[in-house]
Copies of this chain bind each other. A is one copy, B any other.
Amino acid sequence: MARADYPEPVKGLIDELKRMPGVGPRSAERIALWLLQNPKAQPGALAGAIEQAASAVTSCPICGFFATVEGCPVCSDHSRDPGIMCVVEEATDVLPIERSGAFKGLYHCLGGKLSPLDNVTPDDLRIGLLVKRLAEMPGAEVVLAVGADVEGEATANYLAEILQGSDCSVTRLAQGLPAGGDLEHADALTVSRAFEGRRGLS
Contact = CB atoms under 8 A, between A and B. Distances in A.
Interface of A: 1-10, 12-13, 15-17, 19-23, 27, 30-37, 40-54, 56-57, 65-68, 70, 73-74, 77, 79-80, 90-92, 94-95, 98-99, 101, 104, 107
Minimum-distance CB pairs A-B, first 4? A43-B54, A16-B49, A13-B53, A47-B47
Identical copies of this chain, number: 2
Contacts of A54: 35-36, 43-44, 47
The A contact surface, by secondary structure, is helix
Contact of A68 (B7, B73, B92): B7
Given A50-B47, A57-B36, A73 B4 contact: yes
A56 B21 contact: no
A91 B7 CA distance: 12
Given A31-B22, A37-B91, A47-B47, A3 B53 contact: no
Contacts of A94: 4
